[in-house]
Amino acid sequence: MNGTLAYLLVTVSCLVAVAGVVVAVIAVRAARKKAETATKASTPPRTDPFRSADDDADALRGDPRRLQPGDIVEIRHTSYGVRGTLRFTEGDWGWTEHLLDTVSGDKVWLSVEEDPDLELVLWTAEPVATVTPGAPTIDFDGRRFTSKESGRARYTATGTTGLNPTGTVAYHDYAAGPARLSFESYGDSGKWEVARGERLHRAEVQIYPQAGPADKVG
């Protein structure tokens, strides 16, 4: 009996010890899991360092770089149809200008350029302007504009633009804060067309794609 009792006592002691170890392991694992959960909850989500505000705006408001004839664009709560597009290239650099009009026939141009940030400018023709480019500064409509860039580029026209399907243009651009003043002379005409522009905030432009592949028409 004494031997049997001793055996039972040893067995019970071993079981108690094993149970204690199991409880301790479970407690340690639970504590680790709780700590990991707290760490994940307090760690902010990772963001793509290469994602820009323009990417988010394009997802919500449409991509101006993909605008083409037939699309609808809303600028400052006014809706325009895209009638034609001019795509310019000068060496490795390029930009786009879109002819827009409203249902009442008001015409403006929207230029889209990345240099390197996206720049959108709304242009209005100034057909009676008498100023000409070349000087470092130009006074126009109460503002002093400073020469920004000039050169000669090639263009390709799609949709309705009033121009030949392809050609060349000389240009000279001036700036005064967010205001712009542009001079363009197409082909060898020697005649400068003047337009006044205003830089737009990305949030002021909403794109409604409507068109399929654009036909190349002058």
Using an 8 Å Cβ cutoff, are 193 and 184 in contact?
A: yes
| pLDDT at position 36 | 55
Q: How far apart are CA 145 and CA 137, in angstroms?
A: 5
Digit-coded pLDDT (tens) for 67-94: 999 999 999 999 999 999 999 999 999 9
What pLDDT is attached to residue 52? Answer: 52
pLDDT averaged over the chain?
A: 82
Q: Which token pair is 16?
A: 């108690």
118 or 49: whose pLDDT is higher? 118
pLDDT tier, 135 (very low <50, low <70, confident <90, very high otherwise): very high
Look at residue 16 and tell me whether its pLDDT is greater than 50: no
pLDDT band at 53 (very low <50, low <70, confident <90, very high): low
User: Which is nearest to 211 in space by CA: 66, 71, 58?
Assistant: 71
Least confident stretch, 7-11, 91-95, 100-104: 7-11
Percent of the chain whose pLDDT exceeds 70: 70
Residue 34 phi, psi (nearest 5): -65, -40
Domain layout of the chain by residue ranges? 65-208
> pLDDT at residue 142 above 60?
yes
More confident residue, 39 or 133: 133
pTM above 0.75, yes or no: no
Compare 20 and 162 and report the one with higher pLDDT. Answer: 162
| pLDDT of 22 | 42
d(CA 185, CA 191): 6
The predicted pLDDT at position 104 comes to: 94
